Amino acid sequence: MNREYHKWWSLRLRREMELVVFGHAGLPVIVFPTSAGRFYDYEDRGMVAAVGDRLERGVLQLFCVDSVDAESWYNKRAHPRQRVERHEEYEQYILQEVAPLVRVKNPTPRLGVTGCSFGGYHAANIALRHPDVVTFCASMGAAFDITQFTNGYYGQEVYFNCPPHFLPNMTDPWYLERYRQNWFLLATGENDFCWNENERLAAAMRAKGVNHRLEVWRDGTGHDWPWWRRMAAEYLF
């Protein structure tokens, strides 16, 4: 299996950032780590092995990125507005630095995103904010309401980074048309404490005609890597 490590100084984040690429062709998917996670977590937790056959056959390619959650949403020392601003710098890093690397490595016009837990928030948020860039999104055990990190602060920048808030009010035909062309998968479990968050976002997607599927796994499925490995094997192709 092809494995490539990349590291460079990010102009958007003003720090070094690392990522690792798995596979050589197929659907390119940017993988967001869990809360304050690292680029190597997906590999270390067995997620790459769970889809190894697809990587080797050239039907899937993963771009596992680092997070800056500890500098944004989880940075309790910073004012909530600064947390959001740091998050938006991270979004620009993904769009202006990572996405171009994806295009160099893989010329397909499609681009997927995925993530587990808080990585699922990142995936859904960027897919809904930039449906002209991201065409496929698979979240697993995600929570989407980031007002839990803003200590009561609520500005426009918070609203537009909170999918369960901005999506129900979306009327712009440019966005709605692209949502309906793209594909969203929300996977959760009956024992996952994020289940309600997924139901809430799925309801908003249904109301707007967004092309999506909500999958609630039974058999005691909860919020942890063993279940996410099974979901990755089921949905990433």
Phi, psi (deg, nearest 5) at residue 78: -100, 150
Residue 161 has pLDDT above 90, yes or no: yes
Q: What percent of the chain has pLDDT over 70?
A: 100
Residue 187 has pLDDT above 90, yes or no: yes
Query: b or e along 153-169 (b: 16 or more beta carbons within 10 Å of the residue's beta carbon)?
Result: eeeebbeebbbbbbbee
Residue 44: partners with Cβ closer than 8 Å, 6 or more residues away = none
Residue 112 has pLDDT above 90, yes or no: yes
Our count of domains for the chain comes to: 1
Instruction: Determine the structural domain holding residue 40 and report its residue range.
Output: 3-235
Total-model pTM: 0.98
Span 25-75, pLDDT tens digits: 999 999 999 999 999 999 999 999 999 999 999 999 999 999 999 999 999
Residue labelled with tokens 């050239």: 58
124, 137 Cβ separation under 8 angstroms: yes
The mean per-residue pLDDT over the stretch 12-31 comes to 98
Phi, psi (deg, nearest 5) at residue 34: -70, 180
Nearest to 106 by CA among 27, 18, 19: 27
The mean per-residue pLDDT over the stretch 188-207 comes to 98
Span 80-104, pLDDT tens digits: 999 999 999 999 999 999 999 999 9
CA–CA separation, 72 and 77 (whole Å): 10
Q: 29 by DSSP, 3-state: which?
A: strand
Confidence of residue 225 (pLDDT cuts 50, 70, 90): very high
Residue 89 CA, chain-centre distance (Å), reads 16
Residue 103: partners with Cβ closer than 8 Å, 6 or more residues away = none
Q: What is the residue-averaged pLDDT of the chain? A: 97
C-alpha triplet 130, 112, 120: angle, nearest 5°: 80
Nearest to 127 by CA among 184, 70, 82: 184
Phi, psi (deg, nearest 5) at residue 114: -150, 165
Phi, psi (deg, nearest 5) at residue 63: -120, 95
Residue 237 has pLDDT above 90, yes or no: no
CATH of the domain at 15: 3.40.50.1820
Strand-by-strand arrangement of the 212-217 sheet = 3-10, 15-22, 60-65, 27-32, 112-116, 136-140, 183-189, 212-217
Q: 134 by DSSP, 3-state: which?
A: coil
What's the count of helices (H) and strands (E) in the chain, helices before strands?
Answer: 11, 8
